[in-house]
Structure 1
C-alpha cells in the first residue's frame, strides 16, 4: 500500500496531531458553558456539521480500506463532537435543543443513510463505489468552506482582526497543508481537494491579519451600524473554528469571541450615549428650573 511508506505515515501522524489540537479548540467554550450552565448565544450547527463530516470520512476510509490514519483522527472527531453536542443539549434553551435534535437527525442520520444507500445502489464495484463516495465527500466538505467567507467579510468591513485569532488560523492552515500533502503522496484526489480549499482560505485569513493587524478598532458609531449583521453572522457560524480533521477540512470559523466583543462594544457605546443623553436631560431640567425660579422672583419683586 502507498501509505506503507515511512514518510507518508509520518505526514499522516503530523496531520493527526495538528487536527487533534484543532478538535480541542472549543474546549474553553464548553468549559464556560458548563460553568455558567448556559449556552448563551452559541449555536450547535458547527458541531453537528463537524460530526457529520467525520462520520462521512470514516465511511470513506472504511470503503477504501487501509486508511487507518483517516479513521483514527475522524473517530476522535466523532467522539469529541458528540461530547460537545451532549453538553450543548444539556444547557441550551428548549427551542435550541429542538433545532439541534432536528439537525442531528437530518445530517447525522438521514444524509449519512442516504450516502450509504447511494454508494451501494449506484456503484456495484468497489472502485466505482470509492470514486462516487470520494466525490460526495469532496462536494460536502468543500461546501462547508462557505463559513470562512463570513469572518473574512467582517474583517474587511471593520478593518479589525480582533474577530480572527491568528494562532488558530495558522494552526488550521498547517493542518490543511499536512493533509493535502498526505493526499498528494497517496495520490488521493478526494483527500487533496478539500484541503487545498482549506489552505486557500487559511492563507487569505493570514494575509488579512497582517494587512489589518495595526489598524485601530472600528469606532463605536461604525460598530452600531453593523450590530444586526454581527448578530446574524454569530447565528450562522458560532465558535474561530476551522477543523481540518484528517481529510475532511471542515471550515467553521468561529467568530463567537470576536463578535461578542463587537456586540459588547456596541452595547457600551449605547450605554455611553444614554448616559450623555440623561446628563443633557438633567442639565436642561436644571436650567429650566433655574429660569422658573428667576421668573418667580422677578414677579414677586414687581408685585412688592
Structure 2
C-alpha cells in the first residue's frame, strides 16, 4: 500500500526510506553469509536474501524517484553507505583465514543487521 500511494501521489510525502535501507543492508549481509566463501550448504539463504535485496533496491529506487531533492540526496548517501559497509564487511571477513571463525563473525553481523532491520521503524 505504501508504494502504491507514493506512485499514485508521485510523492514520498512523510514516509521514511530508512526501513528499506536497513532491509537492504540485512539482505546483502545475509546473502554474503550464505555464500560458499562463508558457509557450507547455505545456498537457500543466499538465494532468498539476494531476491530480497533486489526487491529492496526496487523499493529504494522508486522512493528516490518520487522523493524531494533533500530526501533524494539523503537516500543516495545512505545507499552509498550500505554498499561501502558491505565492501568493508566482505574485505574484512575474507581476511579471516579460518572458515569457522569467518562463519561466526559474518553470522554475528547478520544477526545484528537483522535486529537493526526490525528496529528501524522505531527510529522514524
TM-score by length of 2: 0.88
Distance 1:86 1:66, change over 3 A: same
**Structure 2: gaps spanning 5 or more residues:** none
Structure 1 runs (4+) deviating above 3 angstroms are 143-148
Aligned match of 1:96 in 71, 89, 109? Answer: 71
Q: Deviations over 1:278-300 (max 9, x none)?
A: xxxxxxxxxxxxxxxxxxxxxxx
Q: Is the 8 A contact 2:23 2:117 kept in 1?
A: no
Aligned match of 2:39 in 46, 61, 64? Answer: 64
What is the DSSP-based 3-state SS (H/G/I as helix, E as strand, rest coil) of the residue aligned with 1:115?
A: helix
Q: Deviations over 1:107-147 (max 9, x none)?
A: 2x1110111121112x1121221111111222332244444
In structure 2, the partner of 1:227 is none
Q: Is the 8 A contact 2:33 2:106 kept in 1?
A: yes
Aligned match of 2:10 in 14, 27, 37? Answer: 37
What is the DSSP-based 3-state SS (H/G/I as helix, E as strand, rest coil) of the residue aligned with 1:49?
A: helix
Residue 120 (structure 1) aligned with residue 100 (structure 2): no
What is the DSSP-based 3-state SS (H/G/I as helix, E as strand, rest coil) of the residue aligned with 1:64?
A: coil
Q: C-alpha separation between the residues in 2 aligned to 1:147 and 1:86?
A: 19
In structure 2, the partner of 1:83 is 58
Q: C-alpha separation between the residues in 2 aligned to 1:95 and 1:73?
A: 33
Alignment of 1:264-275 (within 5 A): none
Q: C-alpha separation between the residues in 2 aligned to 1:87 and 1:144?
A: 19
What is the DSSP-based 3-state SS (H/G/I as helix, E as strand, rest coil) of the residue aligned with 2:16?
A: coil
Shift, 1:88, TM fit: 0.6
What is the DSSP-based 3-state SS (H/G/I as helix, E as strand, rest coil) of the residue aligned with 2:13?
A: coil
Residue 48 (structure 1) aligned with residue 21 (structure 2): yes
Q: How many residues align?
A: 122
Q: C-alpha separation between the residues in 2 aligned to 1:70 and 1:42?
A: 30
What is the DSSP-based 3-state SS (H/G/I as helix, E as strand, rest coil) of the residue aligned with 1:66?
A: coil
Q: C-alpha separation between the residues in 1 aligned to 2:22 and 2:120?
A: 11
Q: CA RMSD in A?
A: 1.6
In structure 2, the partner of 1:110 is 84
Alignment of 1:219-230 (within 5 A): none
Larger radius of gyration: 1
Distance 1:44 1:147, change over 3 A: closer
Shift, 1:72, TM fit: 2.5
Q: C-alpha separation between the residues in 1 aligned to 2:52 and 2:6?
A: 20
Structure of greater relative contact order (alpha carbons < 8 Å, 6+ residues apart): 2
**Structure 1: gaps spanning 5 or more residues:** 1-27, 151-235, 238-304
Shift, 1:56, TM fit: 0.3
In structure 2, the partner of 1:168 is none
